[in-house]
Amino acid sequence: MQQPIEKLAIASDHAGFELKESLKEYLIQSGRVINDLGPENGDSVDYPDYGVRLAQAIATREADRGVVMCGTGVGMSIVVNRFPEIRGTLCSDVYTARLCREHNDSNVLIMGARVVGMGLAQAILSTWLNTPFEGGRHQRRLDKIKDINAILSKGEL
């Protein structure tokens, strides 16, 4: 049985714009439907604005998973992981992309456009999209993270 096509969102800042556009084309050519959350060009923008857009799209179920990039990926990592339901993983190699899906059920792939080249970024993205979550002991660990988020939302620190 074929898996249903996931709803994917993609965003970047100005440093990641060229990589975003390349990955967007790669996704379209591979038959994926994507929601490009911006920016529309390479003019200077503030990365938090686009990281928030992407995280909100996933939190509101407008997208199942997302791909976001900035210069190093660090800024976007900080932004998207502020949201309780986001498990954003910064990847600069295929091995990490595979494990973050298998073990962490990553729902946001983060890359640094000044860190990875286009070819490697496509390989990372392909691995991340096609690797399933293993569940089992890993699900127990994700449940513990949800417990932390519940504590934080109640202000019980």
70, 91, 100, 138: the active-site residue: 70
The domain tally of the chain equals: 1
In the residue annotation, 138 being an active-site residue is answered as no
Q: Within 10 Å of residue 134's Cβ, how many Cβ atoms?
A: 14
CATH number of the domain within which 66 lies: 3.40.1400.10
Alpha-helical runs (H) found in the chain: 17-29, 47-59, 74-80, 94-102, 118-130, 137-154
In the residue annotation, 70 being an active-site residue is answered as yes
Judge whether 2 lies within some domain.
no
Residue 63 structural domain: 8-154
pTM of the shown model: 0.91
Per-residue pLDDT band for 27 (boundaries 50, 70, 90) equals: very high
Listed ranges 29-33, 74-78, 153-157; the one with the highest mean pLDDT: 74-78
